[in-house]
Structure 1
């Protein structure tokens, strides 16, 4: 092999080595950096999409904030943090006027602390035979009768009671309320319907009626007594004590001919 050919081979090998070294030292790092940058860009784009969706959701929720605030205020008004009987009387008066009837008497009892209902318990086991009785005597005849008799149906059980742990006797109380109105049957039904759908949560527990007074034999002269419960939910740690006369004395508004009491309807 002549000398020029050896030099050519050495030059070619050197060129290949330079190219390979240049690729690994110059091009490869750039390609790796470009690939890493592309992956980072994809990750950032995904994060931006998530942030954009969150911002759009927050904007939509902010547009409905006024509706949520109105719903919150309505719920707070339905179960206020104080008895507020004067406000309740005004509501009753307004509902009675809309129903075409008249409130003649209003009475509110003292608040009573909430008591969580007991959970349903399993039915009691069948009673065992009384002591001193003979269990073997007459077994054959009783066994035949028992075999012929149909199996006794299982007693139904009430579902387990579910309560909110945030509602406790310390912050929740009930107030028994009695309202007397004067009007016809249809007017009384209308009043009760408005009462159950009013701004203050009112649980109707009893409705009774009495005959018209002597000299007033019309249907509009009939008296209806509506009993129920209103509720108080306090934000603090302590609810009004049962029978606390300083803050929860019974409120009464009656309409009488003598004019000694205040008529709840303002008439």
Structure 2
């Protein structure tokens, strides 16, 4: 083999080695970088598509925000985010004027943390008593025995896991009014259907005696009554005061 041929073979080997080194050191890293960039671009495009869907949903929801606010407004009046007693007293005064009764006194207790109402427990059926002495056994067997009815537990209370002692409280309220009995009932009805949620737990009335027509004549009962109404109003507890109310309960 002559020297020229050796140079040709050597030159070819050198070029192959240069190409291989160029691919390994230059082209392959660039291909990897391009592949990584393409993958990252696909991820970004998918993320952007998800954000676009969320943005479109937010725009659709925001379009109906006025309706939501209109729905929330009476709920906020019904169960406010604080005791809001001045507004409640104004409501009672206005209701007394509409019902034509006299508002005597209003007393409000300290807030008490909400407690979940336990459902009533059904009573167990009572076992039948054994037959008395002297009663024929065959007669006892022949006569069908009716099954004892099981006492129902009543309607279970409505509960919501979102309402807890940490975010809900109640205030006991006692209201004393005076007026015609039918007007008193109008006042109670307005109290139960007013803007502030009020749970009436008790109502007591006593007839107001009229003054005697003449000296020595026993007074007769008038149509006027003194009424005492007890019940509860409710409050959404702010986060800052939630711990204090829960501890007080």
TM range (shorter): 0.5 to 0.7
Residues 111 and 169, structure 2, Cα contact 8 Å, conserved in 1:
yes
Q: Hey, what does 1:175 align to over in structure 2?
A: 171
Mapping 1:85-124, distance limit 5 Å: 85-121=85-121, 123-124=123-124
Q: Hey, what does 1:157 align to over in structure 2?
A: 152
Higher relative contact order (CA 8 A, sep 6+): 1
Q: Which of structure 1's runs of 4+ aligned residues deviate more than 4 A?
A: 120-123, 125-129, 140-144, 159-162, 241-244
How far did residue 68 of structure 1 move? 2.3
Q: Against the structure 1 CA distance between its residues 143 and 239, is the aligned structure 2 distance closer, same or farther, given a 3 Å change threshold?
A: farther
Asked if residue 232 in structure 1 is aligned to residue 228 in structure 2, the reply is no
Asked if residue 201 in structure 1 is aligned to residue 197 in structure 2, the reply is yes
**Structure 2-normalised TM-score?**
0.60
Residues 125 and 148, structure 2, Cα contact 8 Å, conserved in 1:
no
RMSD: 3.5
For residues 105-141 of structure 1, give each alpha carbon's deviation from its aligned partner in whole angstroms, at most 9, with x where no partner exists: 1111222222212245454365699xxxxx9xx7x95
Q: Against the structure 1 CA distance between its residues 92 and 146, is the aligned structure 2 distance closer, same or farther, given a 3 Å change threshold?
A: farther
Q: Against the structure 1 CA distance between its residues 223 and 120, is the aligned structure 2 distance closer, same or farther, given a 3 Å change threshold?
A: closer
Mapping 1:242-261, distance limit 5 Å: none
In 1: Cα distance, 2:205 partner to 2:121 partner: 38
In 1: Cα distance, 2:125 partner to 2:140 partner: 22
Instruction: Note the residue ranges of structure 2 that are not aligned, 5 or more in a row.
Output: 1-52, 213-220
In 2: Cα distance, 1:128 partner to 1:154 partner: 11
In 2: Cα distance, 1:242 partner to 1:196 partner: 30
**Structure 1-normalised TM-score?**
0.56
Instruction: Note the residue ranges of structure 1 that are not aligned, 5 or more in a row.
Output: 1-50, 130-134, 245-267
